[in-house]
């Protein structure tokens, strides 16, 4: 019997992509799952898709930018089930331009959904998990929250922020018995590159949004594995939470580049050590 059976999970951005994959994995493990999404039709489709596999989830429409709605959702979930065990702050969008084409409106939308959506998840559910003295947050960042990439500055900046926020909350909440984990997926099949369907009107020009191409990906080195199945990512999340893994990575494609970035940090430390050891100049 799964150790997760009967436990309560809440997933934002749960009607598609990684969110739906997590919902399927959680429900398959016997959890009581509620998925939240800004799109009602997508929620209806998600329920039907999971029902076809013999799985049941509850749903709610939620705009993660709305703290009051988030708090109401958290209290409703805790009231209905008497507990909340796993909160996945997963909702995210992409609205990317080169730096020369950035707008405040574009930045505000990406920041409000990607970063403030996570912040609101903490604010809404933290009182509940602290009262319980147990529970876990899983925040969806990205491998681009570990490695900066050209042409995705807005998205990457929010994902770096989620990693940093997760590090802070991991330290702050450990004494309360609340675990924090950060999911940094690589190449996973999702709908995020079509997230502009939900963009606010001020980002539209002549009623339309320009097509946004997916950012270029580094070719996969020979012998390394891509994880492209969102359900498998959901299973990874459960395993990582059970084993108290903080950084949840989904494939080895980026291993060399992560190591190279770590080497640059070590170079910076070595430079500082050398500078500090040098005799002062009069």
Report H helices in 174-254: 230-242
| 8 A C-beta contact, residue 130 and residue 176 | yes
Q: Are strands 179-184 and 136-140 parallel, antiparallel or unpaired?
A: parallel
Residues in a beta bridge with 12? 36
Alpha-carbon gap, residue 220 to 172, rounded angstroms: 37
Distance of CA 248 to the CA centre of its chain: 10
Give, rounded to a whole angstrom, the gap between the first and last alpha carbons of the chain: 72
| 8 A C-beta contact, residue 279 and residue 213 | no
State yes or no: is 155 an active-site residue.
yes
Q: Which of 70, 109, 125, 155 is catalytic?
A: 155
Max CA separation in the chain (angstroms): 77
205: three-class secondary structure by DSSP: strand
Say which DSSP state 111 is in: I
Alpha-carbon gap, residue 174 to 221, rounded angstroms: 37
Supply the residues annotated as catalytic.
155
């Amino acid at each position: 019997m799964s150790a997760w059976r009967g436990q309560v999970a809440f997933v934002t951005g749960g009607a598609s992509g990684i969110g739906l994959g997590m919902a399927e994995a959680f429900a398959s493990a016997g959890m009581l799952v509620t998925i939240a999404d800004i799109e009602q039709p997508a929620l209806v489709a998600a329920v039907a898709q999971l029902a076809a596999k013999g799985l049941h989830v509850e749903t709610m429409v939620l705009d993660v930018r709305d703290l009051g709605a988030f708090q109401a959702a958290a209290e409703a979930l805790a009231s209905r089930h008497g507990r909340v065990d796993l909160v996945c702050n997963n909702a995210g969008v992409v609205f990317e331009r080169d730096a020369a084409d950035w707008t405040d409106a574009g930045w505000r939308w990406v920041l409000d959904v990607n970063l403030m959506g996570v912040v609101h998840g903490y604010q809404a559910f933290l009182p509940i998990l602290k009262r319980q003295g147990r529970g876990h947050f899983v925040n969806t960042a990205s491998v681009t929250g570990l490695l900066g990439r050209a042409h995705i500055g807005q998205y990457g900046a929010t994902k770096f922020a989620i990693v940093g926020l997760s590090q802070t909350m991991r330290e702050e909440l450990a004494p309360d018995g609340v675990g924090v984990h950060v999911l940094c997926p690589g190449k996973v099949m999702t709908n995020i590159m079509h997230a502009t369907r939900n963009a606010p009107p001020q980002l539209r020009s002549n009623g339309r949004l320009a097509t946004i191409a997916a950012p270029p990906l580094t070719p996969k080195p020979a012998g390394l594995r891509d994880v492209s199945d969102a359900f498998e990512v959901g299973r990874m999340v459960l395993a990582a939470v059970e084993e108290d893994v903080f950084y949840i990575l989904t494939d080895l494609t980026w291993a060399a580049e992560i190591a190279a970035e770590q080497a640059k940090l070590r170079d910076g430390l070595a430079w500082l050590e050398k500078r500090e050891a040098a005799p002062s100049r009069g």
